[in-house]
Amino acid sequence: MDEKAFAGTQYVTLVNDLGRSRVLYVAEERKQSSLDGFWPMLSAEQMASIEAVAMDMWDPYVASTQAHLPGAESKIVFDKFHVAKHLSEAVDQVRRGSTKR
């Protein structure tokens, strides 16, 4: 799950099947309601077969996934770019704090 910008600051929400390299869903904007429209398209069997959901740390997508996917907390996988970014920022804050002493 991700958002893509186009025409400057307009966004769309995308859901991709990474295993099959295909787009499953596209919605306007990047809101929780944008992703909420995806989940009813899946059967109970399809929902049960989801092993992992890769996404950035965008709170509306996390909230939608948690609201609709059983066991979401153990299935959400944050993409490495955003994890590394947060880790780098945390290390930088510690470094700055230790040099001010």
Please give the pLDDT value at position 98: 80
Question: What pLDDT sits at residue 40?
Answer: 97
pLDDT (0 to 100) of residue 54 = 94
Per-residue model confidence (pLDDT) at position 101: 61
Domain count, the chain: 1
Which residues of the chain, if any, have pLDDT below 50? Answer: none
Statement: the pTM of the whole predicted model exceeds 0.85 = no
pLDDT at 92: 79
Domain limits at 27? Answer: 2-99
Residues contacting residue 35 through CB under 8 Å, at least 6 positions apart: 1, 13, 15, 27, 60, 61, 64, 65
